[in-house]
Structure 1
Amino acid sequence: MKYFKFFMITCLMGILTSCGGDDDICESGEGTPRINIAFRSFETGKAMTLDSLYVAVDYGTGKVQLGGVGNVDSRLIPLRVDDSPYTDVYFRLRDKGAESKVRIKYTTKSTYVSPGCGIKKTYENLNSELITPTPVQGLQEGQNYIENEDKTNLYLLF
């Protein structure tokens, strides 16, 4: 009888710890990719590192502050995942400083990944427009589609 109880407890523990599969969590980067934005000098066009950068994004319900980072040479920013053809992104160099507005236009394509990840959006035909030019002085296009986060899609010129 002791062995039977031990066997039943072992089986029960095995069942509880083995529940769940690989599709429960989207861990391997199969989700919707973010836009990769890097920074260059307006005069020379060379890559640069910013002392601080504050980013806000309008996801359709007003601006959402993504916070500030220091000593940054690139930033990954999530875009809208609804059916909107653009996302407005706001950049500041100081917490209460002047703010530039950049409108990123695109077309989206949806792909089913798995039950855990759901649907992945990819962005194509990226086109950016500088609406408010201070502190960002210009834009330079990079790769014009987003399938993953490896390539730079947009360069901000300071």
Structure 2
Amino acid sequence: MKYYKFLIFLSFLGLLCSCGGDDDICESGEGTPRMMVMFKNADNKAITLDSLQVFVDYGSGKVDLGWKTKVESTLIPLRVDDSPYTEVYFKTKNKGSESKVKIGYTTKSSYVSPGCGIKKTYEALTSELLISNPVLGLELGQNFIQNEDKTNLYLLF
């Protein structure tokens, strides 16, 4: 009788551990997409930056997204609350000045799955350069973000 109880307990434990479906993990890019930023020079040609540091203000202060070296493009997560804009800061030197860019948009929410929850997409993107050193100008690419395939903003150096 003890062996049957032990066998039933092991079966129950195995059943409990195997519960869960494919919806538990949000994979294959179904979550909220990030904004792709690329870089150009004065001749309007794509360039690779030696180094780049990005900060984003998500409403509670600047968050450092870290340094990148030999960067051709970067993906920046935007705010997912109901704010109509996100402020992004760019630096190319450790003790150098930083540029401030204000990204405006409207958001649309859609349900994806129990694991992913709600996905935000961004439409009617606008950009404004508030502090212009080291970034000299902006050029808008695709003016909506539904996935991370297309470039949404070009920074001119």
TM bucket normalised to smaller: over 0.9
Root mean square deviation, CA, Å: 1.6
How far apart, CA to CA, are the structure 1 residues paired with 2:149 and 2:57? 24
TM-score, normalised with respect to structure 1: 0.92
Matches within 5 A, 1:38-77: 38-41=38-41, 43-77=42-76
Alpha-carbon separation, structure 1, partners of 2:61 and 2:119 = 24
Unaligned runs of 5+ in 1: none
Deviations 1:23-81 (A, max 9, x none): 1111121111000000111x211110000000000101111111111000000000000
Shift of 1:3: 8.6
Q: Which moved more, 1:23-32 or 1:121-130?
A: 23-32
Q: Percent identity?
A: 68
Q: Identify the residue that residue 87 of structure 1 maps to in structure 2.
A: 86
Post-superposition shift, 1:8? Answer: 4.0
Give the total of aligned pairs.
Answer: 157
- TM-score after normalising by structure 2: 0.92
Q: Distance in 1 between matches of 2:43 and 2:2?
A: 79
| Misfit runs of 4+, over 2 Å | 1-14
Q: Find the residue that maps to 1:80 and give its secondary structure.
A: coil
